[in-house]
Chain A
């Protein structure tokens, strides 16, 4: 009997090829698509939830000759991911639901499903690698998704297979074409899966009501307190954002802070966007206990505060277990509460946490945080 692996298949090309590669490698592959949310009647083109994606995944499994199941994880995903997403926006922060989905849904709930069918391994289409029981960046630097995986249980690493992490996206597509998989030419979505039209305020409105503070008018203010305009809800803004701000300033203005307590969106010039330090909570380490012990205060490492931002050198200056603080060698722009802080040693992921806030301001270039992988 071959070793069994349960592959999480989203209906996209990456997980399709992941499944195909595992079949080729001789595993006993079982495909599973997680049904995570239901749009109801909101999206007329999608009569039942993510039906098209489920159909695509099933078709791939038929081509590969492997069984396919649909796992209903709606309720767990609802509280672990969607509710948290809404709460974070209500707190004036900018969450990354994919991180929590990886932590709680794919690499906890799905692993339990894998246990139920005697599956030794769980596989996904992530561009990342597991080497010697440790997580590493994917080979394709432009597709690397290790940033989203820092939160998983370290013990799961030994059961993870990430077959596309060792190749480029182009190679993945080439394999899909060669095998004639129906998902070969599927366009990559940058949307959050449960926010398919890109408007995240809809789900906040649905959960919290349209009179929620996060969606109610508030003031644009400068950091000196001067009111310079009115916005229609701070949940529409994120740190580093330029779009939708009052104009008429000699230099470009950015959102530099969001204050849910008085619904203010603070705007300012580029300098005010820079941070020399960062504090993160919900810290999770992915390295062995020995390596972890070597990571004492004063340790030098690389930190990445946004997807696709370069990792920058930093020093661990405080470690309270669940909360850590890092001093950055160079200032970094738009350190955004709710985004992830990921710690690297080269390509090796040491761990990470959720950004609580920046510590200290200075000068650097701004870019926007991304919301989805």
Chain B
């Protein structure tokens, strides 16, 4: 028997369809091309004083400027990180550790945040912080009056995501930032799913810190950035050198910074046309599913604003795990709630926070559109999905 180490099941699939752009995206060819020199002749360390160092430094400075331009920031307000999670850690823990010394010990956030934010808040609580979670509506939007009520003058930092990664609802970040500022609290927003989908402008919305991730927008995994408004003090997570103004010591990942800047520029330039295209595809997908499966429930569908790329749907009488497997074996890649380290699906904390009944939570499928999505692929997904649903409903569920 000769075993081929490559995944031969993929070859056997009929036209694989990637419908999980909210999980990650392919690196864009332009991005890869922009990065290539930094894995070749321009290998220098930006901190070195010689020509190799200068070349790298120039690329890093330029990348910082270009990324800053994408969100109405100044270059000194951008620090490159290893990704969204690190940016969230730096913003929340960094802010709270500075400001608890001023008697501000509370953190306000929402129960529908990404685990990268909730994990930081729990860590701060473990170190003595007071954790306050805002109410959210059944449509998956933060209740402004609850936020207002909880954001008292003892709050160090308030963190509310811009676009929810599981259901795509847009949060009223502009209003919340104003409230937080009026109470002297630092306002952070995780914009990992928002970038490229809605307009982000540091001049229009008074957030103090904002997290970005590269791999959601066509840059490689392992790179991201944090925006830190001038005058905002954060305690660094790492200790060592003075790179990134001491906020993020360690030799800079020049290639990744260049790639992130390139991806951000491309994404911003295409934002209007791409969101229009994705919205149409999303509506087509949703309409198709509703027509074929009339009792399908789309979570967050009633929110005043939704990002154009995410459809989170539950069909009564199905279960996430079996549907994801069956879809995958048909060549369609979607996702469930947040994945556990083991790879098994765990019930979504987001859906449970917005009051979705248990049997619908355990049936939720997140489909997220992006660069690889087309009308034809959406139509095929609707076909296959509807077929799998009727099949699943003929089967008994596991207790």
Contact = CB atoms under 8 A, between A and B. Distances in A.
Contacts of A370: none
B343 A58 contact: yes
A65 B322 contact: no
Contacts of A80: 399
A24 B1 contact: yes
Interface stretch (B111-119, B224-232, B273-281, B325-333): B325-333
Interface stretch (B5-13, B19-27, B366-374): B5-13
Interface stretch (A68-76, A163-171, A244-252): A68-76
Nearest to B399: A76
B395 interface: yes
Contact of A65 (B7, B342, B392, B398): B7
Contacts of A70: 342-344
Given A35-B344, A109-B398, A117-B322, A65 B6 contact: yes
A110 B6 CA distance: 27
Nearest to A58: B343
Interface stretch (A48-56, A140-148, A264-272, A301-309): A48-56
Contacts of A50: 342
A72 B3 contact: no
B322 A113 contact: yes
B396 interface: yes
Contacts of B392: 116
Given A113-B398, A116-B326, A65 B344 contact: no
A72 B322 contact: no
A233 B316 CA distance: 47
Given A48-B342, A71-B344, A116 B395 contact: yes
B203 interface: no
A51 B344 contact: no
Contact of B325 (A28, A64, A113): A113
Contact of B8 (A51, A65, A73): A65
Given A76-B399, A179-B1, A117 B326 contact: yes
A288 interface: no
B346 interface: yes
Interface residues of A, number: 36
A11 to B, nearest CB: 11
Nearest to A179: B3
A23 B322 CA distance: 22
A48 B322 contact: no
A35 B326 contact: no
A72 B345 contact: yes
Contacts of A63: 3, 5
A275 B7 CA distance: 56
Contacts of B5: 62-63, 65
Contacts of B6: 65
Give the bracket for the number of chain B residues in contact with chain A: 20 to 34
B340 interface: yes
B353 to A, nearest CB: 20
A17 B392 CA distance: 30
Contacts of B340: 35, 48, 72
B149 interface: no
A179 B3 CA distance: 8
**Which of A47, A75, A116 counts the most B-chain CB atoms under 10 A from its CB?**
A116
A49 to B, nearest CB: 6
Contacts of B325: 30, 69, 113, 116-117
A30 B342 contact: no
A371 interface: no
A28 B398 CA distance: 24
B342 to A, nearest CB: 5
A72 B344 CA distance: 6
Contacts of B55: none
B379 interface: no
B345 A47 contact: no
A115 interface: yes
A31 B342 CA distance: 14
Interface in B340-361: 340-346
A79 B3 CA distance: 40
B398 A73 contact: yes
A66 interface: yes
A65 B329 contact: no
Interface in B300-331: 321-323, 325-326, 328-329
B7 to A, nearest CB: 5
B73 to A, nearest CB: 38
**Which of A20, A23, A24, A70 counts the most B-chain CB atoms under 10 A from its CB?**
A70
14 contacts: A23-B3, A28-B9, A30-B325, A48-B340, A51-B341, A51-B342, A62-B7, A65-B3, A67-B328, A69-B328, A112-B395, A112-B397, A117-B329, A118-B391
Interface of A: 20, 23-24, 28, 30, 35, 47-51, 54, 58, 62-67, 69-73, 75-76, 79-80, 109, 112-113, 115-118, 179
